[in-house]
Amino acid sequence: MANLVQQPVVLAGEGWADYALLDSGHGRKLERYGRYRFIRPEPQAMWTPRLDHWPADGEFVPGSDEDGGGRWQFANAVSSDGWQLAWDDVRFTAQCTPFRHLGFFPDMAPVWTWMRQQLLGMEQAQTLNLFGYTGVGSLALSACGPVAHVDASKKSVAQARANADLSGMAERPIRWLIDDAAKFAAREVRRGKRYDGIILDPPKFGRGPNGETWRIEEHLAPLVSDCRRLLDRDSRFLFLTVYAVRMSSLALAGLLAELFADLPGTIEHGDLAVSEEGEGARLLPTAIFARWSNPG
Q: Minimal CA–CA distance to 8: which of 293, 287, 269?
A: 269
Q: What is the pLDDT of residue 216?
A: 87
What is each CA distance from 291 to 58, 168, 197, 254, in whole angstroms?
Answer: 35, 30, 11, 11
Q: What is the pLDDT of residue 29?
A: 99
pLDDT tens per residue across span 182-225: 999 999 999 999 999 999 999 888 787 777 787 888 899 999 99
Q: Is residue 68 over pLDDT 80?
A: no
Q: Is residue 242 over pLDDT 90?
A: yes
Per mean pLDDT, which range of 58-62, 143-147, 210-214 is the poorest? 210-214
Rounded CA-CA distance 79/167 in Å is 20
Q: What is the pLDDT of residue 296?
A: 73
Q: What is the pLDDT of residue 67?
A: 59
Domains along the sequence of the chain with CATH: 3-12+83-93+105-293 (3.40.50.150)
Q: Is residue 170 over pLDDT 80?
A: yes
Sequence length of the chain is 296
Q: Minimal CA–CA distance to 104: which of 49, 35, 50, 156?
A: 156
Q: Is residue 65 over pLDDT 70?
A: no
Q: What is the mean pLDDT of residues 217-234?
A: 96
pLDDT tens per residue across span 99-115: 899 999 999 999 999 99
Q: Minimal CA–CA distance to 176: which of 143, 203, 154?
A: 154
Rounded CA-CA distance 227/250 in Å is 19
